[in-house]
Structure 1
Amino acid sequence: MTRIADTSARYDWVFESATEILAVDDDPIQREFCSVYLSAPGVTVTTAEDAEEALAILAERRFDAALFDVDMPGMNGIDLVAHLRARPGFDDLPIMVVTGREDMVSIDRAYEAGATGFMCKPVNWRLLAHQIKFMIRAHRAIRRTEET
């Protein structure tokens, strides 16, 4: 028996509340994809082309989540994660490493540095949006638990 997909379902935005996302990638096309595919009412996607620009932005603003590419000139994305995790005030920032690498070493290094999540390119943008939403929800729940 062949099942036909239900096309009557209505798909809305993934994000239900105001969300601030920082996307760091040296590839301008990837930055544009982040801006386009993660956009929704109330969602602001700020982009940076390298770790240095990201650090300058993070010195001025707080974000609900961040996405870091691994292979960037200068400081790479995994080193950026480790750098932030060593600084006060960035232990609760959900950080997703998004990269074309899918080898065990890259995955392990990202999590050892303090990444919250890991996704391989090419990106499934809908899945990424759901994972960002989950990371934010999980971090907020942890923060509430720690406050009580």
Structure 2
Amino acid sequence: MKILAIDDDSSALEILSMLVAHAGYSDIETAASAGIALERITSASRPFECILLDIQMPVMDGIEFCDLLRRLPGYGDCPIIMVTAMTDKRYMDQAYAAGASAYVTKPFDANGLAVCLADAARRLGDARMHG
């Protein structure tokens, strides 16, 4: 599964990369902003199959970026896992309204993230079998 992790905190990206690898997924790229992520997405030879997305980022926050992603060709059904320190229900509601598939809070819950990734991989496999 091809994964893109987006967070403006470089240490969070390092931790996410390690947790994703520990969960058994080795194809991960990172981006330090929504702008960089958009460049990676538009220049990718094949679409990313799962997005890990922080909410609190400068210029464009994760909720705005999630909404933008949902309108890009190939990303209407892509699993988008919000990975954020924002625990207020208001942020969760906004993220799901923008098209988020799952919501994991920081500090990172390795098992919770692994379950979300496994669910994303399962849905991707289902889509490939039926698509």
Same fold (TM over 0.5): yes
Query: Which one of the candidate residues 92, 95, 106 is aligned to 1:110?
Result: 95
1:20 is matched with which residue?
2
2:30 is aligned with 1:43: no
Per-residue CA distance 1:58-89 (angstroms, 9 max, x = gap): 11222221100000011100100000112222
CA distance in structure 2 between the partners assigned to 1:129 and 1:42 by the alignment: 10
Per-residue CA distance 1:87-117 (angstroms, 9 max, x = gap): 2221121100111111111000000000011
- What TM-score, normalized to structure 2? 0.88
CA distance in structure 2 between the partners assigned to 1:93 and 1:55 by the alignment: 15
- What TM-score, normalized to structure 1? 0.79
1:4 is matched with which residue?
none
Is the 8 Å Cα contact of residues 13 and 30 (structure 2) preserved in structure 1?
A: yes
2:117 is aligned with 1:132: yes
What SS does structure 1 have at the residue aligned with 2:66? helix
Pairing 1:1-148 to 2, within 5 Å after superposition: 19-39=1-21, 43-61=26-44, 62-142=47-127, 144-145=129-130, 147=131
What SS does structure 1 have at the residue aligned with 2:118? helix
RMSD: 1.7
Count of matched residue pairs:
128
Unmatched runs of 5 consecutive residues or more in structure 1: 1-18
Change (3 A) 1:111 1:26: same
Identity of aligned residues (%): 34
Residue 135 of structure 1, CA deviation: 1.9
Moved over 4 A (4+): 142-145
Amino acid at match of 2:60: M
CA distance in structure 1 between the partners assigned to 2:16 and 2:69 by the alignment: 21
Residues 118-127 or 107-116, more deviating: 118-127
CA distance in structure 2 between the partners assigned to 1:89 and 1:44 by the alignment: 18
Unmatched runs of 5 consecutive residues or more in structure 2: none
Change (3 A) 1:90 1:39: same
Instruction: Looking at secondary structure, tell me which structure has more helix per residue.
Output: 2
Amino acid at match of 1:118: Y
